[in-house]
Chains A and B, each alone.
Chain A
Amino acid sequence: MVRAVPTPLRILAVVFVILTGLILLAPLVVVVGVSVSENQFIAFPPQGFSFKWYEKVLASPEYLSAAATSLQIALLVTLSATVIGGAAAIALHRRQLPFSDVLATFFLSPLVLPTIIYAIGMLMFWSAAFGPVSPITLWIGHTVIALPYVVRTTLAVLAESDPFLEEAARTMGAGRLQRLLFVVVPQCVPGLAAGAFFAFNISFDEAVLSLFLRKPGLTTLPVQIYGQLEFSPDPSVAAVSSIMIALTIVLIVIIDRMLGLSRFAST
């Protein structure tokens, strides 16, 4: 076969990809590097090698409680976003509601609106309606921004499913609830699972909403990190961040195993 791309361009492409990869991944590598530094100052390349910052983090009450808060909320958000988003996706997929297209846009709208605008709105609304913010506020806020991801992944899976399955189930005697439980939901499971993991990741990593909707005692891990970065960073920040990076990698691997990442290349 004729080489479609001239060789100098190929070399250029490889160099380009490497450089781009550096830009994309350098910060993450640096963070991990700093986290094992012996020195108290944040510098890269790190001087010395030590896990003491990890030890410090794991013993620090502020970090631990922030992590606990993030974890609790993320788990709740995963549950609520998956159930609500999954149900919505099923209803949207069937296209039997009026204005299906408008509704689809409606459900995806939190994606379009910059989070900061939503954060302000949520803060002001909640304060006016309910007073001080609470973990519930964060739970609801995170669910709102995670919802479109679940809807999108579930719709993507449903779009590829056999459109005749429900009819076939009807001819086999399946009533409404039976069809939902035994045919439709099993079809959605890959999409729901991927959506759930995205929801967890979004909630756990979320910084903007959490910065606006915080109060003493209600601090998520990203907010805690942000606070440290503003004032007095030492490599323990890097240790926490590295743990978060590791968590993200684990999530990516899981999502790839479940659904295949290439599916999301064409979002």
Chain B
Amino acid sequence: MTDRTENLILALPGLLLLALAFFLPIGQMLVLSVEGENGPTLEHFIRFLSDPFYLGVLWRTVRLSLVITIICAAIGFPLAYIMARVGARTRLWLIVMVILPLMTSVVVRTFGWMVILSRGGLIPDILRDLGLVNRNFALMQTETAIVIGMVQVLLPFMTLSILGVITRIDRRLEEAARTMGCSFVQTVRTVVLPLSLPGLVAGSLLCFTLSASSFVTPNLLGGTRIQVLAASIYKSVTQVLDWPFAAAQAVILFVGILLVLAPYVKMTGRSHG
């Protein structure tokens, strides 16, 4: 046996598993999305893209994802920077703080938000007590609820992505900037921010992709009236049982994500030259 054969044997189970149980299903879905009574058709795509309801779903999905991503970036960047610059002990605790939500089931996390945001929940109570809102105020079943819940879910992804990059920034660059007269804020703006851009971009792409494709949290926090694309897909599959339409929506989601990812991949691909 040669080295190459040995490595092939080691890699084969994984290759087979992914080829048969990952790529093949994806292919099947693609095929199904153009399935019609009389052969391949684009009717499902057309149906989606010409119905204002579905376009509204699509727009809402994109809009919310953008908002969520921006908020995650705004919070994630300072958090990552702080995590990178504190002592090892504190950093470990911060990592646990960030990873714990990541590793709990999404249904558990979302349930927590349901409690906090519902009519009898903590935050509306506080807001009511402060006189800011009226008696009927509920945060549940609103887009705000979705955003809040999703931010908690996705913040760890953004933070860890940026953290990875910031820890590799040579601290002496910041020190050099300080010795050249920059204030702390200026240093962050002119040295740290540009250098952490790859992490920010990667994290943002991850956040956007995950927000656009999530449905547990939006479903539970937004209710049936506020639908995102993934929820619509779920409905098509489990309730309406219109699988080709569901597949078409999934393809639209997939393509949309690829469109967002592609320029990034091309950018980083080139820089690795």
Contact = CB atoms under 8 A, between A and B. Distances in A.
| Chains A and B share a contact (CB less than 8 Å) | yes
Interface of A: 4-6, 9, 13, 16-17, 20-21, 23-31, 34, 41-45, 83-85, 87-88, 90-92, 94, 96-97, 103, 106-107, 109-110, 112-118, 120-126, 128, 140-141, 143-144, 147, 151, 176, 180, 201, 204-208, 211-212, 222, 225-226, 229-230, 233, 237-238, 241, 244-245, 248-249, 251-252, 256, 261-262, 264-267
B210 A226 contact: no
Given A25-B101, A34-B115, A96-B7, A120 B250 contact: yes
Interface in B209-223: 209-210, 212-216, 220
A48 to B, nearest CB: 16
Contacts, number: 278
B257 A114 contact: yes
A143 to B, nearest CB: 7
B192 interface: no
B120 A24 contact: no
B273 to A, nearest CB: 13
Nearest to A98: B4
B109 A28 contact: yes
Interface in B112-140: 112-116, 118, 120-122
B103 A252 contact: yes
A262 B95 CA distance: 7
Count chain B CB atoms within 10 A of each CB in A20, A116, A204, A262 and give the residue with the most.
A116
- Tell me what chain A mostly uses at the interface: helix, strand, loop, or mixed: helix
Given A13-B78, A230-B220, 17 more contacts: A24-B97, A24-B155, A25-B97, A25-B101, A27-B109, A27-B112, A28-B101, A29-B112, A117-B253, A122-B21, A143-B21, A207-B107, A212-B237, A222-B106, A241-B112, A252-B96, A252-B100
Given A147-B14, A245-B108, A43 B103 contact: no
22 contacts: A4-B174, A4-B184, A16-B78, A27-B110, A28-B104, A31-B108, A31-B112, A43-B120, A85-B14, A96-B7, A106-B15, A107-B14, A107-B18, A114-B213, A118-B25, A125-B28, A144-B22, A207-B216, A222-B107, A222-B108, A225-B107, A261-B99
B207 to A, nearest CB: 12
Contacts of B253: 114, 116-117
Contacts of B111: 27, 31, 225, 229, 233, 237-238, 241
A27 B152 contact: yes
A121 B213 contact: no
A96 B100 contact: no
A122 B25 contact: yes
Interface in B1-22: 1, 3-4, 6-8, 10-11, 13-15, 17-18, 21-22
Given A24-B156, A90-B10, A117-B253, A244 B96 contact: no
Contact of A115 (B91, B161, B213): B213
Given A20-B79, A229-B107, A121 B26 contact: yes
B82 interface: yes
A261 B32 CA distance: 42
A136 to B, nearest CB: 11
Contacts of B112: 26-31, 241
A105 B208 CA distance: 20
B105 interface: yes
Contacts of A208: 106, 215-216
Given A41-B120, A262-B88, A4 B233 contact: no
Contact of A225 (B108, B167, B213, B230): B108
A24 B10 contact: no
B191 to A, nearest CB: 13
Contacts of A261: 92, 95-96, 99
Contacts of A204: 105
